[in-house]
Structure 1
Amino acid sequence: MLGDLVRLRRDLHAYPELRFAEHRTAGIVAERLAELGLDVHRGLGGTGVVGTLRGEGPGAILLRADMDALPIAEASGVPHASRHAGQMHACGHDGHVAMLLGAAAVLARGERPRGTVHFAFQPGEEGGAGALRMIEDGLFDLFPVEACFGLHNWPALPVGHFGIRAGAVMAAGTRFTVAIEGRGGHAAQPHLAVDPIAIGCALVGQLQTLVSRRTDPVKAGVLSVCMFHAGEADNVLPARAEIRGTIRALDAGVMADLRAGLLAMAEGLPAAQGARGRVDFHGAYPLTANSPGEARFAAAVMRDLVGAGAVEDPTPPNMTSEDFGFMLERKPGAYALIGVAEPGRPSPALHAPTYDFNDAAIPHGVAYWAALARRWWDDGRAATPG
């Protein structure tokens, strides 16, 4: 069924949908799950879909794929490039959906797991905390499970390779908006104004010292300013400037220090120049930390599939953030990486306008999901009814 899954993946790529607007994608997912005879539940987290394959024995696990795209104009040049202007699957979630649907088909039509498997297709991973929304809508109440598992494509790993680690695999992260309120005026008379652009430029430079000079060098931390908006005319000093960005850390103490330092600088530096700085923190994602037992289990499944030489364990932690961390706060589980790079050829980075999921990874993802689900019960891990 590889040809069908490739066609599906490319169709999803051609028609990307942003967070919580995944209506077409969710409809395709629900239809395919229903055709396989699974019980289908729609609407969790807005556009989320859960398909349930019931086994005869006790216990249940959850396998998760995210569905949303990014607000990026595609420049890949592939025939199946986005038909939606300013939107694209730059993070490979189209591939995630195809792989999990493929696994659902393998498990429904072939040898079934002895327990129950819930296939969760999640909206809004890209900054929307869709995992948390599904949880708040009753995900684990409606579908009680012993463990949950996630999988993300990874351009740093070759096709046929996997990465896994116990403990922190993705950083905690939060986004910030700094509003600087100055006093507008004529560009030729700056002494009569309070220039928020000059203050904002100074603030951007000072914020970098929070990591380079105030964070322990052996502890990971990132602060990135990603947006700077101010002014509408080239001869007018605006009254307001806005700076947006993100902070990431693998340690709760580092995250707290970065937040406190940002708040102090964003309020203090403008105040010293006669302006006012206000900070809003939003879009916080927790640390994505794998349970040791589930990480070891996932690694064993990978080694049986592709051999120990193709499994990076432990894979290095990454400073990207992932809302699967919300699920791992509530249930044991493991978040893994699947390679998509062609050997000898550099792959575009995730979130790049040239990115396109490598279809050669689909069979490996399907095989991993199917083997993990079957082996959960073969290894005697199921303990309680689900």
Structure 2
Amino acid sequence: MSHAHPGHLCEVGDLHDIQDEITAIRRHLHQHPELSFEEVDTAALVAQRLEQWGYAVTRHIGGNGLVATLRVGSSARSIGLRADMDALPIQEETGLDWASVKPGAMHACGHDGHTAMLLGAARHLARTRRFDGTLNLIFQPAEEAGFDSGAQKMLADGLFERFPCEAVFGIHNHPGVEAGTFMFRSGPFMAACDTVKIRITGRGSHAARPHLSVDPVVVAASLVMALQTVVSRNIDPMDSAVVTVGSLHAGKASNVIPEFATMELSVRSFKPEVRELLEQRIRALVSTHAQSYGAQAEIDYLRGYPVLVNSDAETDFARSVAEELVGPEKVIAPFGPIAGSEDFAYFLRQRPGCFLRVGNGQGKPMLHNAGYDFNDANIPIGAAYWTRLVERWMPLQGE
């Protein structure tokens, strides 16, 4: 039985009859989180449901990734929709009935909700089939990996060669904005993210004989402050950049000056030339700063995700679909840019498309927070959005 009406594009209300079913899946995934590269049970559950609904499912793309394909009609048009599946190494503190049962792991970024929204759309599209073309649903592992991530591994496995997509779209929830509000930005939208690991080697000594040491703690402490000048005194104030010292470790006892100290930085930028300048300045500053104290510095500069760049035409299209669905008053464009990073950027390097945000609710905990939970009110909204996007991208002939 078809749930489509002639000439009817998907509305949020069309998903209400399956909302409880999809919400139950979301909460099951939340309760049983799996970290990057470990999404075995999550992928199995997703694949099983998709096959039940009539999709051709290809497993083990880039590890635990999978693609579900549904062909309707004869059009050569195609589209890719992506959801991420992995969780984070955080101990949950929500106290919810569906809180994580796995110690030290939780869905603190809403990937359980992203998966559920796409599953909701998959369920509805399978029963309505109001499109003409090829639909590829991409369920991606290891977005949180930071390096050699799930997107990179799926692409290395020939994702777009095996599953052609004219364009690709992805969505992420956004705490602090009212649920059901969509946010868009053309061009650079999310930052490139690099990680810098620094080891400062000095000379250890007794705490009572500091003159016999080269104290790496003093070097590291001074370096933390010096690094604050990289952005403020090297980057054009009209450009955005972030240098954060997120980790600093040295010594184990109060009466011992240790031999070495370690630091880790998170470096974010929105332009290739700014990214290059940040690396140059950080390398030079760290090296010469350590030498000025008589210490040595080893620098491991790890390039992470690139800048996420949304293509103009596809972003305009995606925004127009949101305006149709929820009204212009619930669409923010342009929004951002956002200093967070996202490996969907790799997909957008190979295909045009748009990565967008949907509000997770005002006054809600931020992402990567032990008190975070995905807002289930977004499930029918996100699922209806994906469905209408497909219906608009690959319309039935004569519409």
Q: State the TM-score, normalized to the length of structure 2.
A: 0.92
Cα distance, 1:41 vs structure 2: 1.0
Cα distance, 1:364 vs structure 2: 0.7
Alpha-carbon distance between aligned partners in 2 of 1:314 and 1:82, rounded to the nearest angstrom:
35
Alpha-carbon distance between aligned partners in 1 of 2:28 and 2:217, rounded to the nearest angstrom:
44
Alpha-carbon distance between aligned partners in 2 of 1:327 and 1:350, rounded to the nearest angstrom:
22
Three-state SS of the structure 1 residue aligned to 2:168 is strand
Q: Does 1:17 align with 2:34?
A: yes
Cα distance, 1:379 vs structure 2: 9.2
Q: Does 1:349 align with 2:369?
A: no
Of 22-31 and 121-130, deviating more is 121-130
Alpha-carbon distance between aligned partners in 1 of 2:100 and 2:196, rounded to the nearest angstrom:
30
Check the 8 A contact 2:131/2:396 in 1, yes or no: no
Say how many residue pairs are matched. Answer: 377
| Aligned residue in 1 for 2:330 | 310
Q: Does 1:335 align with 2:355?
A: yes
Check the 8 A contact 2:215/2:259 in 1, yes or no: yes
Cα distance, 1:283 vs structure 2: 4.8
| Aligned residue in 2 for 1:93 | 111
Superposed CA deviations along residues 274-303 of structure 1, whole A, max 9, x for unmatched, are: 111111122511111110000000011000
Cα distance, 1:55 vs structure 2: 2.2
Superposed CA deviations along residues 100-147 of structure 1, whole A, max 9, x for unmatched, are: 011111111113421111111111111242111110111111111110
Matched residue type, 1:294: E
Q: Does 1:238 align with 2:258?
A: yes
Matched residue type, 2:378: A
| Aligned residue in 2 for 1:61 | 79
Q: 1:378 to 1:148 in 2, by over 3 A?
A: same
Q: Does 1:370 align with 2:387?
A: yes
Superposed CA deviations along residues 290-331 of structure 1, whole A, max 9, x for unmatched, are: 100000000110000001111101112111111100000110
Matches within 5 A, 1:178-327: 178-327=198-347
Alpha-carbon distance between aligned partners in 2 of 1:59 and 1:288, rounded to the nearest angstrom:
24
What is the CA RMSD across the aligned residues, in angstroms?
A: 1.3
Three-state SS of the structure 1 residue aligned to 2:334 is coil
| Aligned residue in 2 for 1:73 | 91
Note the residue ranges of structure 1 that are not aligned, 5 or more in a row: 381-386
Check the 8 A contact 2:245/2:265 in 1, yes or no: yes
Matched residue type, 2:210: P
Alpha-carbon distance between aligned partners in 1 of 2:132 and 2:117, rounded to the nearest angstrom:
21
| Aligned residue in 1 for 2:55 | 38
Check the 8 A contact 2:177/2:359 in 1, yes or no: yes
Q: State the TM-score, normalized to the length of structure 1.
A: 0.95
Alpha-carbon distance between aligned partners in 2 of 1:68 and 1:258, rounded to the nearest angstrom:
30
Three-state SS of the structure 2 residue aligned to 1:285 is coil
Matched residue type, 2:369: A
Alpha-carbon distance between aligned partners in 2 of 1:230 and 1:44, rounded to the nearest angstrom:
41
Cα distance, 1:45 vs structure 2: 1.6
Matched residue type, 2:332: E
Alpha-carbon distance between aligned partners in 2 of 1:352 and 1:63, rounded to the nearest angstrom:
26
Alpha-carbon distance between aligned partners in 2 of 1:192 and 1:325, rounded to the nearest angstrom:
50
Alpha-carbon distance between aligned partners in 2 of 1:86 and 1:162, rounded to the nearest angstrom:
31
Q: Does 1:161 align with 2:181?
A: yes
Matched residue type, 1:288: L
Alpha-carbon distance between aligned partners in 1 of 2:121 and 2:285, rounded to the nearest angstrom:
50
Three-state SS of the structure 2 residue aligned to 1:224 is strand
Note the residue ranges of structure 2 that are not aligned, 5 or more in a row: 1-17
Of 352-361 and 276-285, deviating more is 276-285
| Aligned residue in 2 for 1:358 | 375
